[in-house]
Amino acid sequence: MINPHRVPLLEARQLSCRRDERLLFTDLSFILHNGEILLLEGSNGSGKTSLLRILCGFRQADGGELLWQGRSAETADYRAALAYVGHADGSKKELTVLENLLFWQALHTAGDYSLEQALHKVQLSGFEDNLIHTLSAGQKRRLSLARLLINAYPLWVLDEPFTSLDRQGIELIEQLIADQVAGGGAVILTSHHDLTLTFPVLQRIHLDSWH
């Protein structure tokens, strides 16, 4: 049972967002603790990606506030604790698979996986020397997931992480998410894919309800 008195990992208070003259959502609030998952749902244009951008600090909310461990999320500590995987894979095209991982590894605190273990986990062993442009869309997606393993991030923010993946890839991501929350981390994601694993604490926010 969740202890209501412990400090949330991330808390959103009455967030609102406009795009051009259209209100995407307003008065949106949630509390996310360690070991929890927040699934953002909604129709196209409902504001899912805009909300993720606000949570990652890529844009300001038009109202409300975001707290990280009880304090303002507008800090370097929050940005260092968060890993974002969006539609773009974020890799450097002129580098190899291994060179990209080495670059990412140098930027943050080391995680539980070595480079070799991470590549094996995401089924990219043997592709270390491949340039990024030689990879398929699914392989690029797997590479972006390897970044989550080689660095320690308490919070993952994933925008449609199952895109371009086959069934095996989808099962892989679900297991990575399960491992993240079992280890005390938290995950926020958008997805049109129904999660098949049973998670202890899975919150859902349907953004079509927050206009």
- CA 104 – CA 117 distance, rounded (Å): 15
Q: Would you say residue 149 has pLDDT above 80?
A: yes
Give the pLDDT of residue 5.
Answer: 57
- CA 47 – CA 43 distance, rounded (Å): 9
- Per-residue pLDDT averaged across 195-204, rounded? 78
Comparing 138 with 6, the larger pLDDT belongs to 138
Cα 54 from chain centroid?
A: 13
- Band of residue 2 on the pLDDT scale cut at 50, 70, 90: very low
Q: How confident is the prediction for the chain on average, in pLDDT? A: 89
Give the pLDDT of residue 89.
Answer: 74
Q: How far apart are the first and last CA of the chain?
A: 31
Q: What is the pLDDT of residues 61-110, one digit of tens each?
A: 999 999 999 999 999 999 999 999 987 777 889 999 999 999 988 888 88
Give the pLDDT of residue 211.
Answer: 64
Cα 52 from chain centroid?
A: 9
Q: Would you say residue 147 has pLDDT above 50?
A: yes
- Band of residue 191 on the pLDDT scale cut at 50, 70, 90: confident
From the list 122, 84, 118, 81, the residue with the least C-alpha distance to 101 is 118
Give me the long-range contacts of 98-103 (CB less than 8 A, separation at least 24).
98/128, 98/129, 100/132, 100/143, 101/143, 101/146, 101/147, 101/150
Q: Would you say residue 1 has pLDDT above 60?
A: no
Enter the pTM of the model: 0.89
- Domains of the chain are 10-209 (3.40.50.300)
Cα 74 from chain centroid?
A: 18
Q: Would you say residue 200 has pLDDT above 80?
A: no
Give the pLDDT of residue 102.
Answer: 94
Pair of tokens at residue 37: 């998952």
3-state secondary structure (DSSP) of residue 168: helix
